[in-house]
Structure 1
Amino acid sequence: MTCSRKSCPLPGTVMPELKGGQRVAEYGTTRIPYTLKRSERRTLSIEVKSDGSVLAVAPLGAPEHEVRWKVEKRGAWILKQQRELAKLPPPLPERQYVSGESWRYLGRQHRLRVVIGPQEGVRVTRGELLVAVRSTDRTQKVLDAWLRNRTESILMERMQACLERAGHYGIHHSGEFQLRQMKTKWGSCTKTGKLAFNPSLVQAPKDCIDYVILHELCHLKEFSHSAAYYQLLGRVLPDWKRRRERLNRLVELPQ
């Protein structure tokens, strides 16, 4: 391969390294640190991880100067991904299920208040999630069960509204779905039309929940994320980008 960029080093050039064996590529005046790993594969893969770091996985025999050149060639894409990641909410602290914690429900922040009582349950009242339990060690079980039930009920409600909207564009479905905890997705749709949604969607506003449902319903006609798919989504939900940005800004997928 012949490098067209002046910054591409000649074969045999020693690659600059940072701590931990990282390499550095340059895109214009921007330095892009990346980690190089070797694998028994035929092609190079470049990934921007959730913390913004860059990982290049290269074939065993790929020259380092070619790897660096390809990282630089993807510089614009890498920087765009890092900017998008920087807009996301900070990682959530591990839940303790104690009074005073902040919990998001349908897009709004609520304070958790745990009280001891004979009748267990959860109520939403004046900016609080009021959780009544027989003993504090049951708080997580009671609250998680309530949130999952609320997610299912709200999704069933929004599914009917979304099916009505999608039906105008020739998209039809039974409305059946499953709840499934997913680390990187809010929803999924198989080629056979099976729908699944993340129970953490209960944190999102209803207009964002509608976006997730319609996003998956559009896959019934256009399975891949092709240009035709986004054209269809744009017709079904013209402001889908705004809703997606709001979802990503307000709610973080639990790890």
Structure 2
Amino acid sequence: MPKSSSCRVVDAHRLAGPVPFDDLPEDPRPEMDRLGIEAAWVTHTLSLYADAQDGNDALLRLDDPRLIPVPVVLPGVPGADAPDRPRDVAAWGVRMVRLCPARHRFELTGPAALDWLAELGLPVAIDFAETSPGELRAVAGLPVRAVPRPEGTTADSRLLLMLRLEVPVDRDFLLRAMAAEGVPLDGGYPPLGSLPALHAAGVRTGPCPAAGKAAAEVVWVRQSMLMAEPGAATQVAEALAKVLPAASR
């Protein structure tokens, strides 16, 4: 295809590397030149069909401004995270990452993936065949994010998942409505300084605005939901999508 002076052609879904049913060129640039493609968002096939980290390493070695890397992130799979920690993605200097929940067998709306997405703060590419409409709505459309693990955390027992509501809500109504949807949530701890027992004992307390803000915004998903079948995560997301509009102030 000849190049057009008035049209910039960008390939938004380019693969480089071997695939089980075909061979793609390790270097896609000659074919891009032939087709008049100026730039391409590229994922290495080793990340899809073999080892995610090996594929990401091969992708980043291409190092050409025409080839915009989209590495594959594998979050929260014990012994197989790619990279080891979400903050390691920042060292790659990429503008987007790719998730393959079906291929790599993890729950897109599960606590591990939500933790990683909250910490990454990057656009995410997901093939539609890798997920479901409900999961995509949960990830893309709700004003809710998982509270990230504190800096320095090396392991997380995941006895509960804390979700931060990013819109003002009537918490009492939200908790009652979620329970009615079959997804009971916990309101979490109140700020320590607000406990009546402390005031009754004459303990002097000061203002704790950060604790008060967290208490107003954060709800807990119980362990029973985290240990349920994979579809339970979608159930939580769908219930929140139904309840939040009514609970918002």
Normalization by structure 2: what TM-score? 0.26
Larger Rg: 1
Normalization by structure 1: what TM-score? 0.26
